[in-house]
Amino acid sequence: MTAPKIPDSLRRVVLASNNAGKLREFSALFAPLGIELVPQGELGVPEAEEPHVTFVENALAKARHASRLTGLPALADDSGLCVAALDGAPGVYSARYAKMHGGEKSDQANNDLLVRKLAGVADRSAWYVAVLALVRSENDPRPLIGEGLWHGEIIDQPEGANGFGYDPHFYLPDQALTAAALDPEEKNRLSHRARALRELLSKLSQA
């Protein structure tokens, strides 16, 4: 796909996240486009609430929140892991999955709970979902939305050290590796965020 022409107004965009892993991935994905992503924490923006039950609503809420407090265009993602045998859980609650079950809010606790939930379960199919929302201003009436899916399977033993979140347990049969064992360039080509970005950029080129 031909890279879209980026308007000057989108050369500096606040990233509505303080997650270091997401910042790394998004910065690598956006750098070739000449877009500087500034994490919201550097601009004094607190985390937004995520009260909604869909990825799209949460992403939009976070983007509008960051844009309102900075006056800049804002990019937000809401992403998570959906597991078929768990009726799509943890879904939008992926980041706080263990905390919702009385544990701590950490990647390790989330992964430990996921493995326990799938003990004895044969169907390990799962998919990552990423929704990106880009708003040019707080009240942008035509936000750009991109969505990406990445299919895999959940394994019990973690493998790899390059990812974050559920990546060490997210196995990709075609690559015979987990998401955490992929090199960063390969992950940035295959991941749900990369797919969502391609869709968003396609819309940006038509905007």
Q: Catalytic site residues?
A: 78
Return the closest-CA partner of residue 57 out of 34, 100, 91.
91
Task: Establish whether 79 is an annotated binding residue.
Answer: yes
Helices 192-206 & 20-30, crossing angle to 10 degrees? 50
Task: Establish whether 187 is an annotated binding residue.
Answer: yes
Torsion angle defined by CA atoms of residues 58, 60, 66 and 70, in that order, rounded to the nearest 10 degrees:
-170
- Spatial contact of 158 and 168, defined as CB atoms under 8 Å apart: yes
Task: Establish whether 107 is an annotated binding residue.
Answer: no
Return the closest-CA partner of residue 146 out of 195, 77, 199, 191.
199
Task: Establish whether 67 is an annotated binding residue.
Answer: no
Task: Establish whether 137 is an annotated binding residue.
Answer: no
Task: Establish whether 193 is an annotated binding residue.
Answer: yes
Task: Establish whether 20 is an annotated binding residue.
Answer: yes
| Integer Cα distance of 1 and 22 in angstroms | 23
Task: Establish whether 166 is an annotated binding residue.
Answer: yes
Please report, in range form, the residues annotated as the binding site. Answer: 17-22, 49, 78-79, 164-167, 187, 192-193
Please report, in range form, the residues annotated as the binding site for substrate. Answer: 17-22, 79, 164-167, 187, 192-193
